[in-house]
Amino acid sequence: MTTLSETVNAIHPTSQAFYEQWEQLEPTQTPMGIARKPAMDSFAQLGIPTTRHEDWKYTNVAAQFKTGLTDITNSTSNEIDASQLNLFPFLKANRLVFVNGHFSPTLSDVIDEAEGLVIGSLAQYNELGHMALRDNYNSLANNYKEAFSALNTAFAQDGAFIFVPAKTEVAHPVIILHVTTEGSQGVINSRSLIVTGRSSRLDVIESHQYLGNDTALGNQLLEIVVGDNGLVNYHKIMTDANIGKHVGNLVAKQGNDSRFNTYVVNLAGQLVRNNMVVDIDGKNSEAGFYGLYSLDGVSQVDNHVTVKHNEPHCESHQLFKGLLNDKSTGVFNGRIYVKQDAQKTNAFQSNKTILLSEQANTYTKPQLEIFADDVKCSHGATMGQIDQTMVFYLRARGLDEAQARAMLNQAFAADVIEKISIEPLKEWLLNQLTQQLTR
């Protein structure tokens, strides 16, 4: 029988140091501490997925581990100049900033206050033993099947913790900003948890910023619990130049009469994997998934969405659009699962891609698994080039070819951004998109 250490070692030549590093983490009796050992066992079983794994067919993430699996959260400096960051100054918002996985109290700023409302560091509230954290931490993560979840749970030391008590509407959005500095190597495992109570409301904007071309891989896991009759709008924004290496797992569960929307906008990303798994566990609830990936260079964005309809009378919408230039690659894999009892489900899915270059690649895979018999479900995927008759129409009115193409690309991509309800964020993103398309 092989030991855990030996199994881990087989995953990667530098894994011994990685394993020793894990052993040094304090095995506390906190929620985070308790979860580490089973997660590490699971990670040792699973290993880093290769492209032979169906879910990772187009994204060679193993190649990103040449610099090792070592978690660098504690080894790098978190001193940073705020002027290097996009703190979304156009938004009045709460800000939680993490530099290489460390919470930065100086860069963070919480403006909303309410009885019981928590907007802060997961590590701190883990120590304090916050009740909602105890009840919900690691309750959604699929560590037994998802290697990156397991890795994250085994190592994670900090991230955001947001608790919104019942009947509380958080007035301003919460921006969670993850900064990765130049020269950082290995992996940053950051972990966040959001729990919202009955009839509450929260807007979250998560942004990943990479300060340089040589950075660690961000392995991020976010769990969101949406309470009955609650509303959570989650935005994930990556607009920096083409430098990031990022695997993000979002796992969420919704209660009765709840609404949960995700808006994922990638205007950059060297290698980005967005996994989203949402369980609709309450009746009469709605989930929306809106994604835009407008890419150039050698960027690759791989979106995997799974929505599980577990209860009747619910609705879900998926709309993902790709605009792929140069040698970029876009992947969309959307799965709708409708349980036998989830009658009267309405679930829709659409993936549209425009290829702007002959070297760009797109892969799309819609999956419907329906076990109920009274449902309305649809999926569709289109891919193609810009319609020349449209270009001619615009040119015949005085726009040159570049202007015409930029206008058509913008129109194609903008309708995803238009769905965002935070007006200043929407305007800023439309502007960023215009800049990208007219570069």
Partner 1 sequence: MLTIDNLHASINGKEILKGFGLEVKPGEVHAIMGPNGTGKSTLANILAGKEDYDVTDGTVTFQGKDLLDMAPEERAREGVFLAFQYPVEIPGVSIANFMKASLNEVRKHRDLQPLDAVEFLKVMKEKMRFVEIDEKLMRRAVNEGFSGGEKKRNEIFQMAMLEPTLSILDETDSGLDIDALRIVANGVNKLKNENNAFIVITHYQRLLDYIVPDFVHVMYNGRIVKSGGKELALELEAKGYDWIKQEVDATV
Q: How far apart (Å, rounded) are the C-alpha atoms in residues 176 and 157? A: 16
Give the CB-side neighbour count of residue 87, counting CA atoms within 13 A.
18
Tell me the residue ranges of DSSP E strands in 325-404: 329-338, 346-355, 361-370, 376-384
399 near partner 1, judged by CB under 8 A: yes
- Contact between 202 and 162 under an 8 Å Cβ cutoff? The reply is yes
Number of residues that bind partner 1 (CB under 8 A): 21
User: 201 vs 317, which CB is nearer to partner 1?
Assistant: 317
From the CB of 411, what's the least distance to partner 1, in Å? 3
Binding mask 353-392 for partner 1 (x = CB under 8 A): ----------------------------------x-xx-x
Reference 339, options 313, 310, 369; nearest CA is: 310
411 near partner 1, judged by CB under 8 A: yes
Question: Which helix (H) or strand (E) is 276 found in, with range?
Answer: strand 271-280
414 near partner 1, judged by CB under 8 A: yes
Which segments of 59-200 does DSSP mark as H helices, in order?
Answer: 122-128, 131-136, 147-155
438 near partner 1, judged by CB under 8 A: no
User: 308 vs 352, which CB is nearer to partner 1?
Assistant: 352
* 80 SS3 class: coil
Reference 108, options 171, 172, 178; nearest CA is: 178
- Contact between 218 and 236 under an 8 Å Cβ cutoff? The reply is no
From the CB of 294, what's the least distance to partner 1, in Å? 14
Tell me which of 52, 113, 396, 439 binds partner 1, using CB under 8 A. 396
Token pair for residue 175?
């921006």
From the CB of 413, what's the least distance to partner 1, in Å? 9
From the CB of 401, what's the least distance to partner 1, in Å? 8
- Contact between 268 and 242 under an 8 Å Cβ cutoff? The reply is yes
User: 256 vs 294, which CB is nearer to partner 1?
Assistant: 294
400 near partner 1, judged by CB under 8 A: yes
Q: How far apart (Å, rounded) are the C-alpha atoms in residues 220 and 177? A: 12
89 near partner 1, judged by CB under 8 A: no
From the CB of 323, what's the least distance to partner 1, in Å? 12
Tell me which of 90, 144, 371, 393 binds partner 1, using CB under 8 A. 393
Task: Give the residues lining the site for partner 1 (CB under 8 A).
Answer: 387, 389-390, 392-401, 403, 407-408, 410-412, 414-415
